[in-house]
Structures are given as structure tokens and as C-alpha cells.
Structure 1
Amino acid sequence: MNMQTSNVIAPPAPKSLEQMQLPLVMMRDILIKTIFRKNIDQVSELARAICLPIPVTQELVDLARSQKLVEATGTLHANSGGEMGYQLTDGGKARALDALAQSEYYGAMPVPLEVYAEQVKRQSIKNIQVTRDQLTSAMGHLVLPPELLDNLGPAVSAGRSILMYGPPGNGKSSISNGIRDSLGDKIYIPRAIEYAGQVITVYDPIVHSAAEEQTDDPNSLRRTGNRYDTRYVRCERPTVITGGELSLSMLDLVYNPVARTYQAPLQLKSTGGIFIIDDLGRQEEPPQKIVNRWIVPLEEGRDILALQSGEKFEVPFDTLVIFSTNFHPNEIFDKAALRRIFYKIKIDGPSQQDFLKIFAMVARKKKMPLDEATLVHLLKKKYPTIDNIYANYQPVFLIDQMISICEFEGIPYQMSPELIDRAWANMFVKEETIVH
């Protein structure tokens, strides 16, 4: 039976070793490394540690027993429903040490890359249809021109790349986060995947927020166990946000020479979710180079990664990529690159009318009473000095500054032309030459 999570079909749990599609020796070695490292002696605990159903784990234990690597201890554990205890033989310990020298990896069995690729299709970001209501409620805290949502909605639903550009401080980052919040369903992230006998860890608690798991009571008669393959973690759709620190090497497999395992690069961790490249143009590498790296994945839905040996292989690429920049696109991209980014959306500063709306909304939220004379001073005296260019971040900045001054002076929250002048001075630094 397939589990539904919204419309995502869960990965079915394997029923036998044969269904695993992993090399037997690899599975056996992970089993004995796990027994050795975690000092586990019961099949039910082992099954939890290697994330396989109990019958499949038992099959693996029996295989290791037939090879004289594991033996039964002959003790039945009274507190665990009379479970048999197992331990490594001397040969098993030697083999475990040998296997650990080849790779430190133990614990959850990896999912073969081709099996994972099937799950990626079941939970593709392209299957998501975002409604206007979902987007509006996810962006509820932002004051946005209605035509912006007209453009964003179809872009998100298409699951194609988006370029947001425009002056800084107008919420491109908040909008990216709003897009993420509007997705709302859960998908399954493998703890690790396997390719050519190599283990690549994917699940990363920093990127993936695990949804609440329902745990079974082991003593209840009706165990609903293995509703899905527990080698996966059920998570919110992931979001990776990178800014000026992004370098091209972050998009390669990371090899850990001590553990002799690989870690998935950022874009593989963001599969089924969103990859936000903020502040494009502020990275060490030129933006054109960064976009070139994404061209094949964006066009063909696959990415190419390389092992230590230099062997290249394909992984699914299923990510909504959002580029965000304060530069005009023509300044940082050539026409070929621009053509490949499907949606280009300009995020402008607010009009004076919208600015006042945001200012009033922020003031109300922060319990700062509005004062007409102060607003007139701000619009007539202050903004003309910067060519009346409004930005979405300014109301919060100015009001927070006035609040800090009131709290320091020990006076009730209030705004005045004098307080606005003090707040304004912190928003812009006066042009002057500093004598060294």
C-alpha cells in the first residue's frame, strides 16, 4: 500500500535482501560494522540502527552467521519478548575492523542511486501546484504589489528557475522564503545513497527539518511498522540559501578522507525543494561562471558529479533555483544565460503610497504611535535628499532606531522630526574623507 503525504507517494519498505539492489558484501559489512561500533546484540535494535524492516535484518544476520562472522549468544532477552542475542565472532571482529579501515560508514543502509531517482520523480518539485491563496498567505507579512504575485505564482508552479532582481533592501530574500513557506507538503530524504559501492550521505539536519515521526509501541499487537522505507527521513521540502560565500567547489561531492565516505553537495541536498542564490554578483567567482554551472541541470533535469577516482556519474536534479541580485541582469549575464533562466521578475522599491502603508503597519505592530508632523518631515525633508527612493527595509529600520532612543532616554514610544533625524543619520553614512 502506498502512503500518501499530501500527494507524495512514500518509498515502499524493502521486503527482502534481494529487493535491496545493494551488493551483499556491502550490506553484510555495514551490519557487522554497526554491531561492532554500537555494541548491539538484538535484531530489533539492529533493524532500527540500519533502518531496515526486522525480517530483512534477520536475513542479513543469518547470512553473517552462515559465514561465521556472527554467532548466537544463546541468551534470550526476557524484557524484549524473548529475543535471541547475537555477537560478533573473532572472525567477525577482524572483518569489522577491516571493513572500517575501508570505510567508516555504518548505520542506515544506503539507498541505491537508481532507487532514489524513482523517489525523486514521485515527489518532484514540478508536481507542485501553488495557488494564489497559498502564496498570498505565505507572503502575508509583506506588502507587495499585486502584479508581483501574478508573476511569481506561475513561476513557482512551473518549478523552473527564477531570477529576481532590483535594488537592495526590498525583500528579495523574504520573498524567496515566502515561496518556500508556500510549498507546505512533506517529502522523503534518504539518509545516504549508494553509487558504484560508494556511500554518499544526503540527509543533513541543518538543511532538512524532519517532520514528527510516529513511533510504534513495540509491545502493541498491531504494529503499523514500515509504513515506508525508514532509510528515508520524512521532511519539509528543503531550502538551501547561499549568498556571497557560494563557490563552485560547494557544488561538488565532498570526500571525507578519514571516514572514506562522500557528502552530497548543496544542490543534491536541496532535491525536491528550493536552492536560493542570494546576492548574485557578490561571490568570488563571476556570476556568469556560476550560472554556467547550472545550465545543464536546469535544462536537462540532471547533474553530473565526480568521485575521487575521477569517474563521473549522473544524479537527478529536481530543484527550484532562485537567483537573486541587486544588479541589472544585462550587467552580469550574457544573453544565452539569460535565455535559460525561465522567469525574470523585477522587485522594485515601494511607491510613496505603499511606503506609508508599510510604515503604518510596522508602527502598529511595534506599538509606536504615528505622528503627522514627523511623517511630513520624513517625506518632504529627508527623502528628497535621496531622490525619493523608497525601500521596504526602511520603515522597520527607522522605527527600530526611534524605539531604541526612547528606551535609552526612558520616555514613552514616540516619533518626532528630531528622532527621525537621529534614526536617518544611522541609515546613511555621510560622505566624508577620513584622515588616516
Structure 2
Amino acid sequence: MSLALETKSSLESQLPPELAAAALAKHTVNGAIERPSGLLEELTSGSPPAGASYPTAPPEPRDLAETGLSEGLVDSLLLKALLSRVTATGGDLARQSCLSHAIVSTALTRMRDELLVVIKGQAGGDYLYQLSEAGHTRARQHAEHANYAEAAPVPLAAYERAIRAQAIGQTRVTIDSLRQAFDGLTVGDEMLSLIAQAVSDGRGLFLFGAPGNGKTTIAELLCSSFGKHLWIPRTVIVGTDLLRLYDESCHEPAEVEALRGVRYDRRWVLIKRPTVVVGGELTLEQLDPSFCPASGVSEAPVQMKANGGVLVIDDFGRQRVSSTELLNRLIVPLEKQFDYLSLASGRQARIPFEMLCVLSTNLEPRELVDEAFLRRIPYKVEVTDPSVEQFHELFAFYGERLGVKVLPGVVETLLATHYAPSQRAMRFCHPRDLLRQAKNYCVVHGRPIVADQESLGVAVRNYFAGL
């Protein structure tokens, strides 16, 4: 079911993200265009069945005006596509541009009238198109400016409406949904409550504590407590600037069987809510678009790719820039929920900043930033060491998961022999890591897969290496 359907009551607010504009009385695309009164019902007719786990698919635009794009932009994309393909059918160009066959056919007819393309023949019931000499010249001119010829972009305003409608703040996070997301982790009720409050607030969260207690894992699993999916455009257009948003290294497409064969706006991709993790390599430059002169397209910055999900700044305080500089850059977006990007054309664009920003660090927050900054990140959650009871539970849990038999009393002996004398702190990762090493020792020596004093003793010597 659509996130908008779950959170708002009016019919207009139940529309899928991008197309909220189409349900308005007017929509501006090179001037105001009146919308037919029956469009609202048409847009809502494509909703997924009750109980569906994905937001409503954005309906396929019926004409160029509903795409929010100009004739010149669409013609440019199609001409450049033909320049690289030599010949292509209308269907080929529709698939490449992610526009409907009707919109592409109208554009090709227009370009035929302008003597830019010619019909070369027929293929499978479709016309085969080729550039004319004038078309070659025009296509090369467009390619010199920007050779991008992939999916047609989505206007920034439509992208912003979509992200606002699907924001994590529109979902209701409960202790139970968070506990389900953390299934397999040992998280105390008090910490679970604090994290749930931070997620509900949807602004910023400090996770701090000793290494090895699962801060990064907790941050990465937070997305599972929200709605599972959201729609994002492949590319966003701001004036004449193109921002490539969809990134396979950050976004995982959602395979939804019910969408197969459904006609919807293919400029949008249904993805699993993103968790974008950046660490010590993060620089201020990564928070602005990266322009590629060869393609004429800018790569969207990391915070834009994290919209609708979680941005994890891991090892906060160990970046190439100071923590103060980094927070100076993020403080306004965290408070106002929008950010300003400097684009290749020189213009600035305001984009939504709709994500949970998690700062994960091994250091005390007050050691990193002053009180003024700490006020702006309202939730600070310390991820503490496990208790003795939790340590035993973790050995039992990972022993079962890894197929290692944990002998009675061996954990008590481990603590008494290798932890108490040196006052070594227990960490949540120790049971898993020690059992893995104990298992490997048993495998290579042909012993039964058992965690006993011998196998765990070897694991301790390897793992801690005299520390």
C-alpha cells in the first residue's frame, strides 16, 4: 500500500508521489495547462491490491505535458540515441528513454516533419528510424553539450513531492517494528526505546560507544523498520542540469511480481529503502554533485542518494575533514530538511533532505563537537558492552547459527581465564568471532565442531594476539 495512503486521509494526498501534480487543477509545463476533471479517479485506479508492500506505481504519462519535459529535451535524447544506435525502432527508443511509445512516436513524427529523421524500413510491426544528414548535424551538436541519451529525467519539483510523500517521517515506527528489524541482535529495551524515539523524530542520531558492539550494524538495519520500498527517478533535471540519482552501488531495485506487465512511468525505479554508508573517506566534495564533462551529467551527492532512507557517517570524527566542518555543512539540512546544491551551470538547487542521519563513532560526542552542535542532534545513544548474561546468550545464538556445539561451562571458563585477569572488556562481536575461529580450527584438524577449552583457547590467541 502507498505510504501516502497509510498516512493521509484526503483523496488528493493518496496519490503516488510523482504524480501529485497531475491531480491538481493546474500543472505548469511551459505555461499553465488545464487538467481534465476525471484525471484524479484515473490516477488512483492503479493502486496496488490491499496489503501490498510497495507504494503505488507512478502512472505512465499520457502526453508530453504530463512528463514535465519540453519538446526540445525529448527530441535531443532521441536524436542522441539514434546517433549511437544508427537505426532503431520506435519501441527501442521508448525503452531507452523510458517514455511511452505514444510520446516517442509523436516526437519522431515531429522530427520527420523537420527532416531530422527518416524511416528506413519496418521491423516487427514497427518503423525503423535513422537520422538524416540534418539530423546527424543536430544530434552531434546536442552530444557536444551533453552526450547523455538514457532515461528521460524527472523535474526536481516532482522528485521533491515524491520524497516528501515517502519520507520516513510519514511512517509510524514502533518498538515492535524496530525489534523485528533487529532480529538476531541483542539490544536492550532501554536502547531500543531511545533508538525508536530518534527514528520517529527523523532528524539526527549519535550512536557512540566502544568498537565491536554493533553500532554500524544497528545503523544499517534501521531502514528495515520503515516501509520497505520507495520510488525514485533515475535522473533529475534542474533547469538544464541533469543529476543522475539512481546508483546500483547504493540502490537495490525491488523485484515485485505484481508490477510485471503493469504500465507505469518507467523513469522511476522501485527500490528498497537505501542505507548509504560513508566512512573515513568522506570529504566535503562528496556532499555536492560531481560533474562529468564527457557525459554532461552530474552524479548526485551521497545525501541525495540516501533520501528516503538512512545516511550513516561511520567512524565520525575520523574523516579527512574536521567534524566541525562536516557538521557545519550538514547542520542546516538537519534542521530545515532541505539542502542546497551547487550545480555545474552555476545555479543552486534546493533539494529535500529526508533521511535519518546517523553519526556512528567510537569517541564521546562531546570530544568531537561543542554543545551548540550537540543540541542540533537531539538523540545520543550509547551502545554499551554486553552483560555477562547477554554474553552467554550470544554464544548460544551464534553457536546454533554457525553449527558449533558450545560445551557446558566453557563460556564461564573463557571469562575467568581470558577476560577477568586482564580486565578485558566483553564486546558483542566477540562470541561470533571467537566461535568462527574455533570452528575453523576444528575443521582443519578434523575434530568435531565443538567450542571447548582447546578450540576457544586457540581462537583467543589468534584473535587478541597478546592484546
Structure 2 partner of 1:389: 425
Q: Post-superposition shift, 1:160? A: 2.0
Does structure 2 conserve the Cα–Cα contact (< 8 Å) formed by 1:17 and 1:59? no
Output the amino acid matched with 1:54: H
Q: Post-superposition shift, 1:388? A: 5.1
In 2, the alpha carbon distance for the partners of 1:419 and 1:38 equals 62
Q: Which has the higher contact order (CA 8 A, sep 6+)?
A: 1
Deviations 1:17-73 (A, max 9, x none): 233333332221111111221344322222111111122112211221222111233
Give 5+ residue unaligned stretches, structure 1: 218-223, 432-436
The equivalences for 1:6-405 within 5 A come to 6=53, 8-73=55-120, 75-77=121-123, 79-80=124-125, 83-212=126-255, 225-226=262-263, 228-387=264-423, 389-405=425-441
Q: Post-superposition shift, 1:157? A: 2.7
The 1:138/1:216 distance shift into structure 2, 3 A limit, reads: closer
Query: SS of 2:91's equivalent?
Result: helix
Does structure 2 conserve the Cα–Cα contact (< 8 Å) formed by 1:180 and 1:239? yes
Does structure 2 conserve the Cα–Cα contact (< 8 Å) formed by 1:165 and 1:329? yes
Query: SS of 1:15's equivalent?
Result: coil
Deviations 1:143-188 (A, max 9, x none): 1112221122232233221111111101111111221223242211
Does structure 2 conserve the Cα–Cα contact (< 8 Å) formed by 1:49 and 1:108? yes
In 2, the alpha carbon distance for the partners of 1:49 and 1:409 equals 56
Does structure 2 conserve the Cα–Cα contact (< 8 Å) formed by 1:26 and 1:197? no
In 2, the alpha carbon distance for the partners of 1:249 and 1:91 equals 41
Deviations 1:107-131 (A, max 9, x none): 2111111121121122122112123
Query: SS of 2:421's equivalent?
Result: helix
Output the amino acid matched with 1:115: A
Could you state the TM-score of these two structures normalised by the residue count of structure 1?
0.90
Aligned length: 420
In 2, the alpha carbon distance for the partners of 1:6 and 1:374 equals 45
Q: Post-superposition shift, 1:277? A: 1.0
Structure 1, 34-43 or 319-328: larger mean CA deviation: 34-43
In 1, the alpha carbon distance for the partners of 2:465 and 2:327 equals 34
Deviations 1:87-114 (A, max 9, x none): 2111001111111111110021111111
Output the amino acid matched with 2:186: V
In 1, the alpha carbon distance for the partners of 2:181 and 2:266 equals 31
In 1, the alpha carbon distance for the partners of 2:57 and 2:338 equals 22
In 1, the alpha carbon distance for the partners of 2:229 and 2:318 equals 33
Deviations 1:233-278 (A, max 9, x none): 1111111111122121111101112222111111111111111111
Does structure 2 conserve the Cα–Cα contact (< 8 Å) formed by 1:40 and 1:46? no
Give 5+ residue unaligned stretches, structure 2: 1-42
In 2, the alpha carbon distance for the partners of 1:373 and 1:216 equals 54
The 1:150/1:32 distance shift into structure 2, 3 A limit, reads: same
Output the amino acid matched with 1:65: R
In 2, the alpha carbon distance for the partners of 1:393 and 1:216 equals 40
Does structure 2 conserve the Cα–Cα contact (< 8 Å) formed by 1:168 and 1:326? yes
Could you state the TM-score of these two structures normalised by the residue count of structure 2?
0.85
Q: Post-superposition shift, 1:9? A: 4.3
Taking only aligned residues, the RMSD between alpha carbons, in angstroms, comes to: 2.1
Output the amino acid matched with 2:236: I
Query: SS of 2:380's equivalent?
Result: strand
Give runs of ≥4 in structure 1 deviating > 6 Å.
none
In 1, the alpha carbon distance for the partners of 2:307 and 2:56 equals 16
Q: Post-superposition shift, 1:365? A: 2.4
In 1, the alpha carbon distance for the partners of 2:393 and 2:76 equals 64
Structure 2 partner of 1:221: none
In 1, the alpha carbon distance for the partners of 2:455 and 2:102 equals 72
Query: SS of 1:108's equivalent?
Result: coil
Output the amino acid matched with 1:400: R
Structure 2 partner of 1:434: none
Q: Post-superposition shift, 1:6? A: 4.4
Does structure 2 conserve the Cα–Cα contact (< 8 Å) formed by 1:9 and 1:123? no
Does structure 2 conserve the Cα–Cα contact (< 8 Å) formed by 1:373 and 1:416? no
In 2, the alpha carbon distance for the partners of 1:94 and 1:179 equals 52
Does structure 2 conserve the Cα–Cα contact (< 8 Å) formed by 1:373 and 1:417? no
Does structure 2 conserve the Cα–Cα contact (< 8 Å) formed by 1:200 and 1:264? yes
Query: SS of 1:120's equivalent?
Result: helix
Structure 1 partner of 2:465: 429
Does structure 1 conserve the Cα–Cα contact (< 8 Å) formed by 2:253 and 2:272? yes
